[in-house]
A and B are shown apart, each in its own frame.
Chain A
Amino acid sequence: MEKKNKLLTRKDFVSSSEVRWCPGCGDYSVLNAVQNVLPQLGIPKEKFVFVSGIGCSSRFPYYLDTYGFHSIHGRAPTIATGVKVANPELSVWVITGDGDGLSIGGNHLVHALRRNLDMNIILLNNKIYGLTKGQYSPTSEKGQITKTSPYGVLEEPLNPLRIALASEATFVARAVDTDPKHVTGVLLEGAKHAGTAFVEILQSCVIFNKDAWKDVSDRSCREDRLLYLEQGKPLIFGEKRNKGIILKGTKPEVVMIGEQGITKKDLVVHDIFSEDPVYVAMLTDMAHPDFPTPVGIFHAAKKPVYEQALEEQIKEVTASKGRRNLQALLRGSEYWTVSGGGKKIKRSSGIRVQFSDESRVMDERVRDLLKSTDPLTASLKTTIGKIFYDYDYKRVKMLSPRASISTAIANFTANRIECILVGDEKRLYGVLSERDIIQNVVLTSIDRDRLPISAIMRPIYEIMDETNSIGDVINILSISGHRHVPIRLKDGGFGLVTVRQILRFIHDTVEQVEKNGDVTRK
């Protein structure tokens, strides 16, 4: 077996499928790099699985002679998770694009990363949807002109490495398609990492986003614009290797080595295991033209691997509870019977007592809270109907929507009311407050005798019932920002509860409570 693996070569991984990528596409060089890496891993060919989503980049599995799954858009990390959990012996690789992995599959990518299965994720970032012929993607630059942004992208682009770090990824790296040797090195390190290795490849789509990475990936200027990160080495770059990065506080600064007394010793030394989040955040933030764009391994950490933890958990639980089988579970005694058109739900006796106990305790807690013994809180459960009549609040003034503004004014001045309802016995159309009148009458030259109040009333936010509680009203008043809530009266017509009435109710309750000497509130 050992011997046979050693014999594997690049050629063993080349498939006979016709390649559908455009000539010159950056995906080719990544494919080459992967075909270089695989034979070096000492893993039997049949143990490799490549899972992809949808996109040009996601056609990758066809061109590798391994097991593969050209799967569902954005769901490659999810399917790969299943593959790895079901058979941890496999070497699982996810191939995704900036669209596949960060648009439709953003959520899946994030959760795969935080789970930390021992697998590899390669995100081919060409800052565009290639397959669908050039729509902007989550990594497209602000202002980029594409088929779906003819006047320029308005959104901030996502930085895939920052997403990976925020998702607690344990291996975060970047490489450029024009430097396949470096890509190979990074992928090899990633493959050896125990945990999910996330590698972003800056890839050029020669058809729809030709110059996306030209400024940093072009061979002519690469050395000066890329910063090759090397573990334990100072951050040095430049064709003449004469430029470096120093830190001013937490801010990086480009310096010339040998100028102004700067030596290599002054430069920041790269540590992929640094636990300082500021350091790696700083690296991900650096980019051409203000800085060289870093490539290489940004960050690595040793953390438990999901499939192992899962296996241990299964062992542990099986040891204490025995092995259970799915059929038994499905045909078991734990079920609910739904009857009466869905109104009656009964729990079977087989449902574990512990579970129902828990929910009983919760129920009781909820019930306790709801029937609080605190007098004011308890009083908030008083229904509106009660305060409405107790306080002898007059039924509110109601006018037809056709009534003139003059009529409304006459009502306001004669009745000393804050607000008039607009409608009839059956329907409410709006409310009219003093403010609506004042602002319209004083600030505009309307004809108050002719203009109907429907022209200046405000729409109804909510109508409550007499059976609603004071608490409900307070809730609505707080949410709506209004000073009154119309109430549908039991025997027809509408009433109105105002903030002032609520305060009066609270005032009276507090006074009552104090009179009874029960002022301590727990």
Chain B
Amino acid sequence: MTKRKKETFWAEPIGKVDLQQPAVVKTGTSIIDAVKEMKYNQIGCVLVVDAKKKLVGILSNGDLMHEFVGSTLSGDTPVDEIMTKNPASATPALTVQEALEIFHSNRFRHLPILTGETVEGILSVRGLMTFISEHLPLQVMNLPPDSSLIAPTVSGE
């Protein structure tokens, strides 16, 4: 990534994107309770924090699929055993383009955004796409859902 022009929205801080409310559980929480928390918050991952509320891990649907569903582990197992420890995170100063880069070179779909040790929210691939698409309103948002339906002439003729 070479130099970016400041005025482009690629340089906008991620803080401007609508972040998702995270689901959060304490270390030692059972896998079942963590999944309940995800379901309740309608989000595809749950953050795991220690007693001092410091982020120590993240558990995603992908982790659950690969580490739990096919395994012999019981639902009472603490999340710590299957979560991704010390997950990647970013600050609200992260730019849109940097976020794009991160999702491009990693498999995960959710990136915790932290100020110091406080969780601000979750940036998801969906949230990022929506943010980008909202900056292309005419071309993306204000069109019929199928480009073959775009009228060739103005209405009324």
Residues of A that sit less than 8 Å from B by CB: 345, 347, 359, 362-363, 366, 369-370, 372, 376-377, 380-381, 409-410, 412-413, 416, 418, 433-435, 437-439, 441-443, 462, 464, 467-469, 471-472, 474-479, 481, 483, 499-500, 502-504, 506-507, 510, 514, 519-521
- Is B104's beta carbon under 8 Å from chain A? yes
- Contact between B109 and A500, CB atoms less than 8 A apart: yes
- Is B88's beta carbon under 8 Å from chain A? no
Q: Which residues of A have CB within 8 Å of B133? A: 474-475, 478
Can you list 30 A-B contacts (CB < 8 A)? A345-B157, A347-B157, A359-B153, A359-B154, A366-B154, A370-B150, A377-B136, A380-B140, A410-B70, A412-B65, A416-B107, A435-B44, A437-B69, A439-B38, A439-B39, A441-B69, A443-B35, A472-B143, A472-B145, A474-B140, A475-B143, A475-B145, A483-B125, A499-B125, A500-B109, A503-B100, A507-B104, A510-B10, A514-B2, A519-B5
- Is B89's beta carbon under 8 Å from chain A? no
Whole-angstrom distance between the Cβ of A385 and the nearest chain B Cβ:
13
- Is B132's beta carbon under 8 Å from chain A? yes
Query: How many residues of chain B have a CB within 8 Å of chain A?
Result: 54
Supplied contacts A483-B109, A483-B125, A506-B129, 9 more A-B pairs, CB within 8 Å: A369-B138, A369-B139, A377-B136, A409-B69, A468-B147, A472-B145, A472-B146, A503-B104, A519-B4
- Contact between A409 and B130, CB atoms less than 8 A apart: no
CA distance A363 to B39 in the complex (A): 48
CA distance A418 to B109 in the complex (A): 10
- Contact between B136 and A376, CB atoms less than 8 A apart: yes
Contact indicator per residue, chain B 31-47, by CB within 8 Å of chain A (1) or not (0): 11001101100001000
- Contact between A443 and B65, CB atoms less than 8 A apart: no
With most chain A CB atoms within 10 A of its CB, the pick from B97, B103, B125 is B125
Q: Which residues of B have CB within 8 Å of A507? A: 100-101, 103-104
Contact partner of B66 (CB less than 8 A), chosen from A376, A413, A506, is A413
Chain A residue with the shortest CB-CB distance to B100: A507
Whole-angstrom distance between the Cβ of A480 and the nearest chain B Cβ:
10
Contact partner of B103 (CB less than 8 A), chosen from A434, A443, A475, A500, is A500
Which 4 residue pairs of A and B lie closest in terms of their CB atoms, listed nearest first?
A434-B61, A362-B154, A442-B35, A507-B104
Whole-angstrom distance between the Cβ of B11 and the nearest chain A Cβ:
10
Q: Which residues of A have CB within 8 Å of B86? A: none
CA distance A266 to B101 in the complex (A): 69
Contact A510 B143, CB 8 Å, known A380-B136, A435-B44, A519-B4: no
Whole-angstrom distance between the Cβ of B136 and the nearest chain A Cβ:
6
With most chain A CB atoms within 10 A of its CB, the pick from B1, B69, B151 is B69
CA distance A475 to B38 in the complex (A): 26
Whole-angstrom distance between the Cβ of B103 and the nearest chain A Cβ:
6
Q: Which residues of A have CB within 8 Å of B5? A: 519-521
Which residues B97-126 have CB closer than 8 A to chain A?
A: 97, 100-101, 103-104, 107, 109, 125-126
Chain A residue with the shortest CB-CB distance to B129: A499
- Contact between A504 and B104, CB atoms less than 8 A apart: yes
Contact partner of B75 (CB less than 8 A), chosen from A369, A442, A462, A510, is A442
